[in-house]
Structure 1
Amino acid sequence: MSETGRGAPARSATADREVVISQVIEAPRELVFEAFTEVRHLSRWWGPEGFTTTTRSFEFRVGGEWDFVMHGPDGTDYQEWITWTQIVPPEGIVLLHGEYRGDPNAFESFLAFAPEGASTRVEMRTVFPTKELRDEAVEKYHAIEGGRQTLGNLAAYVTEIVRKGVEG
């Protein structure tokens, strides 16, 4: 950790606008990365517990877009839109996520896939445009718990693929 001149840890300029979630997944990094980048996988695990996803269009490339609807367990539909701004297989992805193209409240997510022995650590750092939007996402939309559940769903999904591969 970097230090300031007084010996206190340096604070990120965006810390009050961030949510950081990580999870170790018992699967190779390439498989975890693939599960995040191919629509046939994403529709199987994306979103918090109880949510399903319908993809309208998907193009995984820098500048490509994923237009989709998340269906909540209560029947509420959430229009979502993602564009990828950086892709470094299998190390990381940077994306912009909003409700629609040009959404002024869209947030940026930095996803890092780091090998940890035979497992992979996924770290998702999300930076919101303002502290208020971050606080709203956390308080109203339960972004931290939802992010943990989403990474948990990813872990369960790829762990099952690995288990079936070993058995089959």
Structure 2
Amino acid sequence: MAATGRDTSARSATADREIVISRVVHAPRELVFEAFTEVRHLSRWWGPEGFTTTTRAFEFRVGGAWDFVMHGPDGTDYQEWITWTELTPPERIAMLHGEARDDPNAFESVLTFEPDGTATRIEMRTVFPTKELRDEAVEKYQAIEGGKQTLGNLATYVAEIVRKGAKG
């Protein structure tokens, strides 16, 4: 019980610095997790609607990094850097996400993958270093809508894999 109390306290302590987005994806948990762990998948769905992704380096392991550029529909390029801090297949991924290695404004994200019947409930919990950085991400970069669109792109992508698999 004490662990639950600590988790609740930790969450309430970060509530003004976090964004939580969840979605049910109609695909098995292992496939949804795999879509996050292999660059051949990530490059097909990562980012909000209209964005594309170019990967410069990718090493999916604790301490490994994904160095990539997100290309916005208006032509703006966004330098991105993710380093994986925890991997528990197929349940959980924790990562630090910023513009580059050692970005002082990098934020932490934890993704959890829970079975939901034959589907998967994915939750993306992101905690920013400050409330101001969280607010900037929401207001300037539409982080909540972008996160919802990203998970929507994931859902569409893995549903297509499932559909093709059912045909084959």
Q: Which residue matches 2:96?
A: 96
Q: Which residue matches 1:153?
A: 153
Deviation of 1:118 (Å): 0.1
Identity score, percent: 81
Q: Greater helix share, 1 or 2?
A: 2
Aligned counterparts of 1:12 and 1:166: Cα–Cα separation in 2: 43
Aligned counterparts of 1:133 and 1:147: Cα–Cα separation in 2: 16
Q: Which residue matches 1:30?
A: 30
Aligned counterparts of 1:147 and 1:35: Cα–Cα separation in 2: 16
Q: Which residue matches 2:17?
A: 17
Q: Deviation per CA, 1:34-54, whole angstroms, max 9, x where unpaired?
A: 000100000000000000000
4+ residue stretches of structure 1 with deviation over 3 A? none
Q: Deviation per CA, 1:106-159, whole angstroms, max 9, x where unpaired?
A: 000000000000000000000000000000000000000000000000000000
Provide the secondary structure at the position in 2 that maps to 1:14.
helix
Aligned counterparts of 1:29 and 1:104: Cα–Cα separation in 2: 33
Provide the secondary structure at the position in 1 that maps to 2:12.
coil
Q: What residue identity is the alignment partner of 2:165?
A: G
Pairing 1:1-80 to 2, within 5 Å after superposition:
12-80=12-80
Q: Which residue matches 2:87?
A: 87
Q: Which residue matches 1:127?
A: 127
Aligned length: 162
Q: What residue identity is the alignment partner of 2:155?
A: A
Q: What residue identity is the alignment partner of 1:67?
A: D
Aligned counterparts of 2:95 and 2:26: Cα–Cα separation in 1: 24
Deviation of 1:12 (Å): 1.1
Q: What residue identity is the alignment partner of 2:31?
A: L
Q: Which residue matches 1:6?
A: none
Q: Name stretches of at least 5 consecutive residues in structure 2 with no aligned partner.
A: none
Aligned counterparts of 2:153 and 2:19: Cα–Cα separation in 1: 18
RMSD: 1.3
